[in-house]
Amino acid sequence: MPAPLVTVVVPSLNQGGYLSAALQSIAAQAVETEILVLDGGSTDGSLAVIEAWASRLAGWRSAPDGGQASAINEGILRGSAPYVCWLNADDVLLPGALGLLVAALERNPSAPVAYGQAFNIDASGRTLGRYWTMPFSRRRLAWRCFICQPATLIRRSAWAAVGGLDESLLMALDYELWWRLSERFGDFSYVEAPVACNRVHAGTKTKTRRREHHLEAIEVVRRHHGRVPWKWYLSWPWSVWYKAWR
């Protein structure tokens, strides 16, 4: 078999209703992938889905773990491909996504990350609209995270250099990683084409733990930017209180 070009880690916990779609979207990519499913000990139908896919996976396990960041770090460490990413079990890649992202990194050898555009979809897969993305700028990153995580691809060498995800974080772990990678290596490569779908549903951490997410993101900005732009405080009533009570 050809050597894998991309390691894709799928962290999951009780996402059995979405997991098969996520795995199918990876398997359908035109580039060689190694897929590792790191399940946190699901009690729904996830294990049956994983076992049905076992012959097409580079590895999997289902057991309580240290959380999402820990599972992703574990999976990427177990892989060997020169490019790495993770796809949460409720998100999906679009056809040709990894090929576009690999090509972007090969065109720009200094970029640690390539990311593209994305759609938001609902629980049934219906498109809700575009995820707001834009070309990379560290100044703008302080104002909001305009990078859609499922639409990203990272050089393994860059991932290893910064030590992967911060396992102390629960909510803004991808946002914090973008800061460290850009501090160490510079600007990311932006692909102006949709490459992934971010699923928005009632069970996501962003929905169920909105206040914690907002507070953790503020601390990430303070840690890496040195100050917190006023936008974060003005958006507090909207993003935390108003939406929480809708």
CA-to-CA distance for 154 and 85, rounded, in angstroms? Answer: 6
**Would you say 60 and 39 are in contact if contact means Cβ atoms under 8 Å apart?**
yes
DSSP H/E element including 102? helix 97-107
The pairing of beta strand 113-121 with beta strand 152-155 = antiparallel
Q: What's residue 233's pLDDT?
A: 79
CA-to-CA distance for 182 and 174, rounded, in angstroms? Answer: 12
- Residue 152 is classified by DSSP as E
**At the fourth CATH level, which superfamily is domain 6-244?**
Spore Coat Polysaccharide Biosynthesis Protein SpsA; Chain A (3.90.550.10)
Q: What's residue 2's pLDDT?
A: 83
The burial class, CB within 10 Å (0-12 / 13-18 / 19+), for 21 is: middle
The single residue listed with the structure tokens 């910064």 is: 162
- pLDDT means over runs of 10, the chain (246 residues): 93 95 98 98 96 98 95 98 97 98 98 98 94 96 96 98 97 97 98 97 61 88 92 66 47
DSSP assignments along 32-71, one per residue: -EEEEEEE---SSSHHHHHHHHGGG-SEEEES--S-HHHH
The set of residues, in sequence order, having a beta carbon less than 8 Å from that of 55 and lying 6+ positions away, is none
The pairing of beta strand 83-86 with beta strand 6-12 = parallel
SS3 category, 101:
helix
**Conformational region of residue 198, where left means phi above 0, alpha means psi within -120 to 50, and beta covers everything else:** beta
Q: What's residue 201's pLDDT?
A: 65
- 123 phi, psi to nearest 5 deg: -60, -30
Q: What's residue 244's pLDDT?
A: 45
Q: What's residue 242's pLDDT?
A: 47
CA-to-CA distance for 246 and 244, rounded, in angstroms? Answer: 6
Percent helix, strand, coil in the chain (nearest 5)?
45, 20, 35
Q: What's residue 243's pLDDT?
A: 47
